[in-house]
Structure 1
Amino acid sequence: MSEEVTARQGKNEAWEWIKALGIAIVLAVLIRSFLFAPFIVEGESMETTLHNAEKLVVNKAIYYLEKPKRGDIIVFHAEPKKDYIKRVIGVGGDTIQVKDDVLYINGKRVDEPYLAQNREEAKAQGVPLTEDFGPVTVPEGQLFVMGDNRLNSHDSRAIGPVSLDKVVGRSEFVFWPYDHIRMTR
């Protein structure tokens, strides 16, 4: 009888492990699908804020609760098989213009402290960081996005505004490489 009890306990323990593993897999799929996802930065368009090959966590749930805001760093579907990461510069109804390397939103000058290092590098090359453009009015339901490395960014200046339904989520923090872990907001 002791062998029977041991066999039954072994089967129960195996079943419990299978259930726990199944629940873990379902939770992982749900979390990745609806809440958070990893993203790898490709290219230099967000330098010096984000660097090529850094891995970060994208909050996919935040925009179920609120709309993207100016300054958010977002991931969006830019092409059928390619996502981009850029900074939100303007939201629906905003008028965007850059004149003499200064950003204006709705006619008001906008300070962009995250561009300080890039501005210095552009100045050393004798070029503006951001060429003049606009005014451009962002349609409702869309976003105007630009990379922080304005000299090397394929963004709304070229591809046009980004529809809200193309937004994957907001960048929250860099988790790789370990010595560069930091918040991106």
Structure 2
Amino acid sequence: MNNTKKVKSEFFEWIIMIIVAIVLALIIRYFILSSTLVNGSSMEPTLKTNDRLLVNRISFMIDDLEYGDIVEFHNPNNEKEDFIKRVIATEGDTVEIKNNIVYVNNQPLNENYTSTENGFTTFGAESYWEIEKDEVFVLGDNRPNSNDSRAFGPIKKDSIVGIAFFRFYPFSKIGLLK
């Protein structure tokens, strides 16, 4: 009889541990950390199609986004689709594109991470933006092939899923993103 109680006790301990593990995994997945798959060439040469990234879902809620952060956000034209782009400007900044050079607050950006050998367009006549409160301006690193803030304007911070910070696949390129 004592042996039966011991088996039941161990069984319930295992069930509780499994439930706790599942709850912790869900909390981490939906509130702290997630993974994402890069789809498309808009962030080349930095990121390529099928790269797998870890995304920190809470750090930008605590600290402000920084210039150069690579963020995952909901497509402003389709909430079910997420994009990955680089933060170029934050609230209070101005962005202007002249002769394929990006200026933030009238200063040209030093962008050694871009792919602009074919030039890029500003998606229409407007090439000047003022970034409002709770907004950021994002661009893909592969400017000729990126659907970004040039097309849909600055994005709201509340559309941001998180900051991509670590590539874990392909294994040959594993490491922190800069």
TM-score (norm 1): 0.88
Contact 2:138 2:154 in 1 (8 A): yes
Whole-angstrom CA distance in 2 between matches of 1:45 and 1:80: 19
Assess, with a 3 A threshold, how the Cα gap between structure 1 residues 40 and 103 changes in structure 2: closer, same or farther: same
Whole-angstrom CA distance in 1 between matches of 2:135 and 2:64: 11
In the other structure, the counterpart of 1:55 is 52
Whole-angstrom CA distance in 1 between matches of 2:9 and 2:171: 41
Q: CA deviation at 1:32?
A: 1.1
- Secondary structure of the residue aligned to 1:143 is strand
Q: 2:18 aligned to 1, 5, 21, which one? A: 21
1:104-149 deviation line (CA, Å, top 9, x unaligned): 111112201112xx24xx2xxxx32x33662221122111101000
- Secondary structure of the residue aligned to 1:157 is helix
Give yes or no for the alignment of 1:167 onto 2:160: yes
In the other structure, the counterpart of 1:142 is 135
Q: CA deviation at 1:156?
A: 0.5
CA root-mean-square deviation = 1.3
- Secondary structure of the residue aligned to 2:34 is strand
In the other structure, the counterpart of 2:79 is 80
In the other structure, the counterpart of 1:107 is 106
Q: Which protein shows a greater Rg?
A: 1
TM-score (norm 2): 0.92
Contact 1:99 1:131 in 2 (8 A): no
In the other structure, the counterpart of 2:91 is 92
Percent of pairs with identical residues: 37
- Secondary structure of the residue aligned to 2:113 is helix
- Secondary structure of the residue aligned to 1:80 is strand
Whole-angstrom CA distance in 1 between matches of 2:108 and 2:147: 23
Contact 1:57 1:171 in 2 (8 A): yes
| Gaps in structure 2 of 5+ consecutive residues | none
Contact 1:71 1:89 in 2 (8 A): yes
Q: CA deviation at 1:177?
A: 2.0
Contact 2:127 2:150 in 1 (8 A): no
- Secondary structure of the residue aligned to 1:113 is coil
Letter in 2 for 1:39: T
Contact 1:142 1:164 in 2 (8 A): yes
Higher helix proportion (structure 1 or 2):
1
Contact 1:41 1:50 in 2 (8 A): yes
Residue pairs, 1:5-20, within 5 angstroms: 5-20=2-17
- Secondary structure of the residue aligned to 1:81 is strand
User: Matched residue pairs, number?
Assistant: 173
